[in-house]
Structure formats: structure tokens, C-alpha cells
């Protein structure tokens, strides 16, 4: 569009159409912006981007030992291999050899003399093709002096091998409360780790630019951190590095910190070779060399009364962190913050041990420690119910946080003001026919010796906000172009969860324009700086607010312009259906954009948001770490085969409070996906290491993620219709990304019920997670072990 001098569009009273309807952009079940591209294969991931002609490829060489000193690393054959350009080792890194996200300098990019886990990267080979790099990497001759390795939680605990100091959270005198409780029970449950199994593995492409600058195209939840760590490794200022992420093919927490290492390697090689470099991990390498969900050992000592009301509880949490802290500190904290789940625990002590082991450094995974903490308390409730011969749901209900009053204060002294679980549980109990089905199942089990059924209803309460307060900030950048089309950018990243479409809905709603007019663009550190990871389920809460702030700035300028230009009071101006109406005049949004531009009005703005009201003091473990809680509940029905140990989830009913849903289609997708992922963690996904600390389950052949066949035949997901965030979040919506995963605890609990019915109610099943057929059989035959 050229300069239309003298043809500046006027507010034309003739054109006025008073029947314009408001466009409903928010609260609509809009399809994910990339859904069509995902299924047609046209969504571009890093490895799909057109490759520059001089692109070089990288492959890593990794350690075979869990703990060893490298006595000699002979890379001559690797270097001499035809097509190899160079080999990178720790000594070649000009800046810092560090990928620690919290800057403890406890984890190197490439091992330097000492290897601390099997699968740790030692060197990187750069070659003309990926297969040359891969073949050449196999020719390295590395000699080791093996050192004693700590491979499991128990050993680390006994040896006091920790990555961070133990942490204790306490309220009340638990010892005397336990001693005076009418009943008391001790037990233990372990939870397994989980590989993220994102469909797109770790990948980065580094493109060298002028003056030693570098552009990184990567698959990361945290572009700003990749930028910082790349700059540090290169020994350059942060402004020499730009990081861009269009989308990830799944992340689930596995790309919150884990993408940096590969981006750094690509950047270092691009910087020295002067050529673009791509690195894409093999699935096996990805599984061996990147962190997973922390496995936990949870011990409990609980005191309760004859009705099942908990009076005191002590928990021990010991989690396997691997070789370094990574995000283990906040993950262990979140596990502590969720060891109450939905229940008021008057006297409580949680001791959390962050164990250092010679295994890959564990990291964020959907729920971020929360699920593990919740498995602990849900197990306790099941155990109490079994001891008292009560319906576990009755015990759950009895222990729920009150809606108000003293019994609504968490162990970290935050008052819960938004508890909807009493209502939610009642609705779900009725809509799912829980009581009637429970009776039917009891009758069925009496006459079925081999197949046993179980049913369980479990709630989830999940705190929303980063517990590290300063991370709760977000930025956005919005441009309106002269034709009225809008460019949207913000610090959040898309990993399939639908963040981009939700934020676009917010911006379209502000301007009252069609969603198609808002261009979703790649996250780029050059556009919005110093961002936090897209994590903690807070992506929409934070970036939605930042984008709205940016849009509102522009809108304010436009209002002022229209008001002045046409002498109409601001109160009489409204944006509606791709138009602006001013009194009796109206013009299209596109005409408005051009008119404003001609009048030299800025049509670009940044927006910023910081989450209000939150605070937390790690010294005293008290404060308000969360702005609000997300709530949900699920009823799962399962069958187990007592001869084979197999389990099948036959029916699931979920009721979830997403506040006012910004996009019910996306939200239901998140609930379904999160639940199935949680069920995978709790039933079939099992990580195994051999006695040397080598992961033996590093491919889909040995690591079983859920498939469509594991989806319950009857899967009823409902968004709670009365949902409305009492905090002023974006359109009163609530976070959705992680909490549904924890609803899958109902599956595990139902399996435990089924086992208990086989054992005849005398013996307390000791089912750990994952509830694999082996684990179920072990519980069914406790004497044989
Ligand atoms: N959904 C899809 N499809 N893919 C993902 O990788 N990650 C989950 C969740 N849902 C994930 C997902 C995790 S771990 C988090 S923290 C949130 O999405 C992050 O996005 P949000 O903050 O926008 O909800
Ligand atoms: Mo999600 S585990 O907070 O990336």
C-alpha cells in the first residue's frame, strides 16, 4: 500500500452499521493454529528448515562409565577420518564450560577429565555429513580409571551424597502429635522416573554472522537461557547471540534446561569453523544423555483418628538428582509444597534430601515434583482407608482443606481462598456414578478370582506461579501494520500446548479483529529480551497479560487519535467487528491503522507483566508462592489380571477447573494429553539402569509410552462450568498445562484397590510406581517378593 495522500479515510456516517456484533475471540474453541500443519507435515521444526549450502553436522561422543577419571583420550583416528572438519573437547571452549541453569558451575558442556555418568558428552565431532560425524565418533579411544559410583537414592542417602543441602518444612510438633494420635501407620512408596519422549528430539542449528555473532535456531522452552549460556561459553556478550524458537515437537519440561548443551556445542563449532552447524541427537543418545523426571523415595509416618482424619504426618522425600543441581532445588521444593495435595495436615514435617548420584542430571517434567509429592499423600490416604475399612473417597473428603478458616492454611502458611474441591468432588462423584459403580465392582470382585476391578476418585490441587518469585515476569511486542494486520511476539514458546493461539486470541479480542489478522511469530530473544522459561503452566497467564498490555497501549493511542481527529468523546468510541465506531461514524480497522500512521502515531508497543501478590521466603519456607490454585478431580476404573499382572484402564471421568476457559478445545486437549502422560508415568514407563549405571531402556523398544490403545475406552473430560478465577488473571482463566497429569494418580490408586481386593483386605498392598505387570504381580504375591 502506498501513501494515499489526500485520501485519508474518513469516518463515514453513511457506512455506519449499528448491527455489528462483537467478535468472540476468547472463550471460543478455536483450533490450534498449527493443527493442520502438524498433520500435513508442513509445520516447520528446526530439522525441517531449509539447510544452508555449507552446513556442517555434529555428533557427540559419550562416556561409557558412570564415574571415572579419563586417563587418555586419543581422538587422532576421529580427526583423520575423511570428511571430519574438527573435534571439540572441553579444552577448546573459550568461555565457560558450564550448562548449569542456576549458575552453580556444577555441570560441564563437555566432561573435563572426570566423567560423572554413563552417557555424559566427552567430545563433539564436526563433519561434512551426520553419518561421517557419527562413524568418526566411534573411532575415539578413551581410557578410564573407574571410580566408585553411587547409582541409587538409598546409597546416596546413606552416604549423604547431595547436590544441595537438605531442606525441612515443619508446622507443629509432629513427634508429640504422632505419639498422641489414636492410630499410627508407617510406610514407603517409590515413584519412578520418566523420559520426556518428546517426538522431536533435542536439536539446534547455529548460524555464524558478522563480527562473530551467532544465530541459534533451537527447540527450547527457554530461549533467553540458551542465549546466556551460549554467550558465556563463547566468552562473548549476550547481545552477540540471538536465539529463535518457532515451535517444539513436544518438550514437557525436557527442554527447559536441556536444550542449552546442544545449542552451545553447535555455536562453538559454528564460531570456530565459520560455517553453519546442526546437531540433532539420536533417540538413544537423547535418552541416555538428557535428564528425566526425578524418581523419589517417600517414607511416611502418619497419625490419625478412628474416622481417618489425619492429625500428624512426617514425610521423608529423597529424590535422585543425578550429577548436578540443574532445577532439582525448585523441583524438590514443589514436591514439598504438594505433599499436602488437597488436604489439611495440621502437624507436618517434610524432610527433603536432594541426592547426588552418578546418573544423568534429572530435570523438569510436567508437574515439576508436584506429582511425586501428591503420590505420597494419596498413598497415605489409601492406606488409612484400607486400615479402617473405609471408602478412600470418604477419607479424602474428610481431610480436604476447608473452604475457609483455620483448616485452609497450607504447611507453608499460605491461606487457600479458592478451594472448589468440595463442589467439584460432589459433582464428579454423581456424574460418574462413583458410589454405584463401587458397589458393582465389589460384587464383581467377589465372583471373579482372576480379573479384579478397582475404582478411585482422586483430586488435584496445583499451585500456579514459579516458586522463584523473580521468574514471574513476561514481555510482549505487538506491531500493527498499515494494512491493519498485526504482528504478535512474546517471550513464551510453543511446544504443542496451544500458547500461541491463546495469546493471539487475547490480542484479537483487544482490537476486536478476526483472529486470522494476528500473525503468530517465532519467539526471538532479539524481540523480547530476558524472558523466563515457558514453564510452570504459567505461559498463558503471563504472556497473555503482557500481550494484552502491549495491545492496550496501541489501542489507547488509537482512541486518542480518533477522539481528537473527529472530535468524539473517548467514551463514545468502540472497537467492534474489525471496525472502530466513533459516535455515529465508523471505519475499518485497516483504515484506522493507515490513518493513524499518516498522523504519525506509533503502532508498535511492548507489554510487560509481573505476577502480583506472590512472595516466598526460602529461609523460613513460608509465604505465598502461588497466585492461585488449579483444581481438578478424576475417577478411574481399572481391571487387573491376577495371573499376568496386566492392567487396563477402562473408564475415566475428569472434571477440571480451568477458570473461564480461554479456549475449551485446547484445554480439553491438555487435560486428555496430560492425563494419559501421567498414566504412562504411573503404569508402563519404566527406566532401568544396569549395575554399571548405564540406561538399558533407551528406545521405544524397551521404554513403553502410552499409545492410543492405552486410552480408556470411555474417556469423559469435562471443563467445570462454574469455573472462574477469583484472581484477576487473563480473562479469569486458569493454568492447564501440568495439573491434569496428576489426575492419573486415580489410575494408580484404582490398581491398588484391585490388588487389595485380591489380597482380601488384610494386607496393605505396597504398589510402587510404575505399576508395571511385574510390580502388580509382586504385590499380589507378597510372600514370594
Ligand atoms: N503440551 C504439549 N502438547 N506439549 C508439551 O511439551 N508441556 C507441558 C504443558 N503441556 C507440554 C504440554 C508443560 S511441562 C508445561 S509447564 C506447560 O505445557 C507449558 O506451557 P503453558 O505454560 O503455556 O501451559
Ligand atoms: Mo513444565 S515441567 O514447568 O516445563
pLDDT of residue 5: 37
- Residue 74's alpha-carbon distances to 26, 117, 142, 537, 558, in angstroms, are 60, 20, 6, 46, 67
- Average pLDDT of span 613-630: 94
| CA 365 to ligand 1: nearest atom | 14
pLDDT of residue 17: 52
User: CA–CA separation, 262 vs 280, rounded Å?
Assistant: 8
Q: Tell me, in angstroms, the distance from the centre of ligand 1 to residue 263's CA.
A: 21
pLDDT of residue 761: 76
Angle at 48 between CA 46 and CA 51, to 5 degrees: 90
Q: What single string gives the DSSP state of each residue in 685-704? A: ----B-TTS-BS--STTTS-
Would the CB of 25 count as within 6 Å of ligand 2? no
Residue 3 binned pLDDT confidence (cut-offs 50, 70, 90): very low
Sheet (strand 628-641) strand order: 451-464, 628-641, 647-657, 714-719
Task: Quick: pLDDT tens for 94-152.
Answer: 999 999 998 789 999 999 999 999 999 999 999 999 999 999 999 999 999 999 999 99
- Average pLDDT of span 255-265: 98
Query: Is the model's pLDDT at 6 over the cut of 60?
Result: no
User: CA–CA separation, 456 vs 767, rounded Å?
Assistant: 15
Task: Kindly list the protein residues whose Cβ atom lies closer than 6 A to any atom of ligand 1.
Answer: 250-253, 366, 495-497, 499, 534-540, 670, 673, 737-738
Q: Are 66 and 692 in contact (CB under 8 A)?
A: yes
| CA 256 to ligand 2: nearest atom | 4
Residue 15 binned pLDDT confidence (cut-offs 50, 70, 90): low
Residue 18 binned pLDDT confidence (cut-offs 50, 70, 90): low
Residue 7 binned pLDDT confidence (cut-offs 50, 70, 90): very low
Ligand closest to CA 739: 1
pLDDT of residue 534: 98
Ligand closest to CA 219: 1
Task: Kindly tell me the burial class for residue 76, based on how many C-beta atoms sit within 10 Å of its own C-beta (0-12, 13-18, 19 or more).
Answer: exposed
DSSP label of 590: H
**Segments of 276-343 assigned E as strands:** 277-280, 296-304, 310-322
Ligand closest to CA 672: 1
Task: Quick: pLDDT tens for 414-442.
Answer: 999 999 999 999 999 999 999 999 999 99
pLDDT of residue 165: 97
Task: Quick: pLDDT tens for 674-711.
Answer: 999 999 999 999 999 999 999 999 999 999 999 999 99
Task: Quick: pLDDT tens for 623-679.
Answer: 999 999 999 999 999 999 999 999 999 999 999 999 999 999 999 999 999 999 999
Q: Are 683 and 511 in contact (CB under 8 A)?
A: no
- Average pLDDT of span 610-616: 97
Question: How many Cα neighbours within 13 Å face the side chain of 365?
Answer: 25
Q: Encode 121-157: b = buried (16+ Cβ within 10 Å), e = exposed.
A: bbbbbbbeebebbbbbbebbebebeeeebbbbbeebb
Q: Tell me, in angstroms, the distance from the centre of ligand 2 to residue 760's CA.
A: 40
- Say if pTM beats, i.e. exceeds, 0.95: yes
pLDDT of residue 371: 98
Q: Tell me, in angstroms, the distance from the centre of ligand 2 to residue 496's CA.
A: 13
Residue ranges in 518-568 assigned as alpha helix (H): 539-566
Report how far Cα 690 is from the mean position of its chain's Cα atoms: 29
Q: Which of 33, 220, 293, 366 to mutate to test the pocket of ligand 1 (most atoms within 8 A of CB)?
A: 366
Q: Which three cell numbers stand for residue 632?
A: 481438578
Would the CB of 642 count as within 6 Å of ligand 2? no
User: CA–CA separation, 515 vs 151, rounded Å?
Assistant: 52
Q: Which three cell numbers stand for residue 292?
A: 528425566
- Average pLDDT of span 301-306: 98
Q: Tell me, in angstroms, the distance from the centre of ligand 2 to residue 366's CA.
A: 5
Would the CB of 536 count as within 6 Å of ligand 2? yes
Closest CA relative to residue 267, chosen from 238, 296, 298, 308: 238
Q: Encode 731-764: b = buried (16+ Cβ within 10 Å), e = exposed.
A: bebbbbbbbbbbbbbbbbbbbbbbbbbbbeeeeb
User: CA–CA separation, 260 vs 203, rounded Å?
Assistant: 10
Residue ranges in 260-313 assigned as alpha helix (H): 260-273, 283-289
- Average pLDDT of span 584-600: 97
pLDDT of residue 103: 78
Mean pLDDT of the chain: 96
In this structure, which residue's CA is closest to atom 4 in ligand 2? 253
Closest CA relative to residue 374, chosen from 462, 251, 455: 462
Q: Which of 195, 248, 250, 253 to mutate to test the pocket of ligand 2 (most atoms within 8 A of CB)?
A: 253
Would the CB of 466 count as within 6 Å of ligand 2? no
Q: Which of 314, 738, 774, 784 is catalytic?
A: 738
Query: What SS3 state is found at 513?
Result: coil
User: CA–CA separation, 489 vs 346, rounded Å?
Assistant: 46
Q: Tell me, in angstroms, the distance from the centre of ligand 2 to residue 750's CA.
A: 27
| CA 253 to ligand 2: nearest atom | 4
Dihedral Cα 315, 321, 327, 330, nearest 10 deg: 10
Angle at 741 between CA 739 and CA 743, to 5 degrees: 85
For 290, phi then psi, to 5°, come to: -120, 150
Q: Which of 497, 543, 668 to mutate to test the pocket of ligand 1 (most atoms within 8 A of CB)?
A: 497
Q: Tell me, in angstroms, the distance from the centre of ligand 1 to residue 130's CA.
A: 31
Task: Quick: pLDDT tens for 528-560.
Answer: 999 999 999 999 999 999 999 999 999 999 999
Task: Identify the weakest region by mean pLDDT among 2-16, 293-307, 336-350, 743-757.
Answer: 2-16
Residue 167 binned pLDDT confidence (cut-offs 50, 70, 90): very high
Ligand closest to CA 495: 1
Q: Are 202 and 234 in contact (CB under 8 A)?
A: no
738 catalytic per annotation: yes
DSSP label of 733: B
Q: Tell me, in angstroms, the distance from the centre of ligand 1 to residue 670's CA.
A: 8
Amino acid at each position: 500500500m502506498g501513501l494515499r495522500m489526500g485520501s485519508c479515510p474518513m469516518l463515514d456516517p453513511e457506512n455506519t452499521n449499528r448491527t455489528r456484533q462483537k467478535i468472540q475471540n476468547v472463550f471460543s474453541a478455536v483450533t490450534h493454529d498449527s493443527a493442520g500443519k502438524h498433520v500435513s507435515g508442513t509445520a516447520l521444526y528446526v530439522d525441517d528448515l531449509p539447510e544452508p549450502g555449507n552446513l556442517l553436522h555434529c555428533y557427540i561422543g559419550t562416556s561409557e562409565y558412570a564415574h571415572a577419571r579419563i586417563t587418555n583420550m586419543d581422538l587422532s583416528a576421529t580427526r583423520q577420518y575423511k570428511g571430519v572438519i574438527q573435534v571439540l573437547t572441553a579444552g577448546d571452549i573459550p568461555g565457560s564450560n558450564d550448562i548449569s541453569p542456576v549458575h552453580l558451575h556444577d555441570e560441564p558442556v563437555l566432561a573435563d577429565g572426570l566423567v560423572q555418568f554413563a552417557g555424559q558428552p566427552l567430545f563433539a565431532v564436526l563433519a561434512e555429513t551426520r553419518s561421517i560425524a557419527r562413524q568418526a565418533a566411534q573411532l575415539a579411544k578413551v581410557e578410564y580409571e573407574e571410580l566408585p559410583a553411587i547409582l541409587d537414592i538409598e546409597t546416596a542417602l546413606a552416604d549423604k551424597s547431595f547436590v544441595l543441602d537438605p531442606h525441612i518444612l515443619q508446622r507443629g510438633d509432629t513427634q508429640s502429635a504422632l505419639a498422641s494420635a489414636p492410630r499410627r501407620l508407617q510406610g514407603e512408596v517409590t515413584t519412578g522416573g520418566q523420559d520426556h519422549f518428546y517426538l522431536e528430539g533435542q536439536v539446534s542449528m547455529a548460524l555464524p554472522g558478522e563480527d562473530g555473532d551467532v544465530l541459534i535456531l533451537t527447540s527450547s522452552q527457554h530461549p533467553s537461557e540458551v542465549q546466556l549460556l551460549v554467550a558465556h561459553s563463547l566468552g562473548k556478550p549476550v547481545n552477540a547471540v540471538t536465539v529463535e524458537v518457532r515451535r517444539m515437537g513436544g518438550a514437557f519440561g525436557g527442554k527447559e534446561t536441556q536444550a542449552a548443551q546442544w545449542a552451545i556445542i553447535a555455536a562453538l563449532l559454528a564460531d570456530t569453523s565459520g560455517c553453519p552447524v546442526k546437531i540433532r541427537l539420536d533417540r538413544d543418545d537423547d535418552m541416555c544423555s538428557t535428564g528425566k523426571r526425578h524418581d523419589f523415595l517417600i517414607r511416611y509416618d502418619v497419625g490419625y483418628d478412628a474416622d481417618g482424619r489425619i492429625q500428624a504426618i512426617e514425610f521423608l522425600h529423597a529424590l535422585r538428582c543425578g550429577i548436578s543441581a540443574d532445577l532439582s532445588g525448585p523441583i524438590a521444593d514443589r514436591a514439598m509444597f504438594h505433599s499436602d495435595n488437597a488436604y489439611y495436615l495440621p502437624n507436618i514435617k517434610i524432610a527433603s534430601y536432594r541426592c547426588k548420584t552418578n546418573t544423568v542430571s534429572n530435570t523438569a517434567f510436567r508437574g515439576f515434583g508436584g506429582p511425586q509429592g501428591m503420590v505420597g499423600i494419596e498413598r497415605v490416604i489409601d492406606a488409612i482407608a484400607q486400615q479402617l475399612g473405609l471408602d478412600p473417597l470418604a477419607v479424602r473428603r474428610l481431610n480436604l482443606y476447608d473452604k475457609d478458616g483455620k483448616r485452609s492454611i497450607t504447611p507453608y502458611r499460605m491461606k487457600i481462598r479458592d478451594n472448589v474441591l468440595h463442589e467439584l468432588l460432589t459433582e464428579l462423584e454423581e456424574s460418574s456414578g462413583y458410589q454405584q459403580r463401587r458397589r458393582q465392582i465389589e460384587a464383581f470382585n467377589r465372583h471373579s478370582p482372576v480379573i479384579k476391578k478397582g475404582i478411585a476418585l482422586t483430586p488435584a490441587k496445583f499451585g500456579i506461579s514459579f516458586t522463584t518469585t523473580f521468574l514471574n515476569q513476561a514481555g510482549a511486542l505487538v506491531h500493527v501494520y498499515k494494512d491493519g494486520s498485526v504482528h504478535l511476539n512474546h517471550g513464551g514458546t510453543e511446544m504443542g500446548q496451544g500458547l500461541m493461539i491463546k495469546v493471539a486470541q487475547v490480542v484479537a479480542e483487544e482490537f476486536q479483529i478476526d483472529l486470522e489478522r494476528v500473525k503468530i511469530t517465532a519467539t526471538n530473544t532479539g524481540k523480547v529480551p530476558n524472558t523466563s522459561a515457558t514453564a510452570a503452566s504459567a505461559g498463558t497467564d503471563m504472556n497473555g497479560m503482557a500481550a494484552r498490555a502491549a495491545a492496550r497501549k496501541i489501542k489507547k493511542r488509537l482512541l486518542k487519535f480518533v477522539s481528537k481527529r473527529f472530535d468524539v468523546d473517548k467514551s463514545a468510541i468502540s472497537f467492534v467487528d474489525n471496525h472502530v465506531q466513533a459516535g455515529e461514524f465508523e471505519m475499518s480497522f485497516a483504515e484506522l491503522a493507515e490513518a493513524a500512521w499518516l498522523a504519525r502515531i506509533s503502532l508498535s508497543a511492548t507489554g510487560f507483566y509481573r505476577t502480583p501478590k506472590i512472595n516466598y521466603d526460602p529461609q523460613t519456607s513460608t509465604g505465598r508462592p502461588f497466585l492461585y490454585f488449579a483444581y481438578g478431580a478424576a475417577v478411574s476404573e481399572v481391571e487387573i489380571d491376577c495371573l499376568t499382572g496386566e492392567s487396563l484402564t477402562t473408564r475415566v471421568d475428569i472434571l477440571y477447573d480451568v477458570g473461564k476457559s480461554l479456549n475449551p478445545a485446547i484445554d480439553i486437549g491438555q487435560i486428555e494429553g496430560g492425563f494419559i502422560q501421567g498414566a504412562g508415568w504411573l503404569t508402563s514407563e519404566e527406566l532401568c539402569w544396569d549395575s554399571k549405571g548405564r540406561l538399558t531402556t533407551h528406545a521405544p523398544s524397551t521404554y513403553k509410552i502410552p499409545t492410543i490403545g492405552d486410552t480408556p475406552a470411555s474417556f469423559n473430560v469435562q471443563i467445570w462450568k462454574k469455573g472462574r478465577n477469583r484472581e484477576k488473571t487473563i480473562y479469569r482463566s486458569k493454568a492447564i498445562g501440568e495439573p491434569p497429569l496428576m489426575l492419573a494418580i486415580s489410575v494408580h490408586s484404582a490398581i491398588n484397590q484391585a490388588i487389595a481386593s485380591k489380597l482380601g483386605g488384610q494386607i496393605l498392598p505396597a504398589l510402587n510406581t510404575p505399576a508395571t505387570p511385574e510390580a502388580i504381580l509382586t504385590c499380589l504375591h507378597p510372600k514370594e517378593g
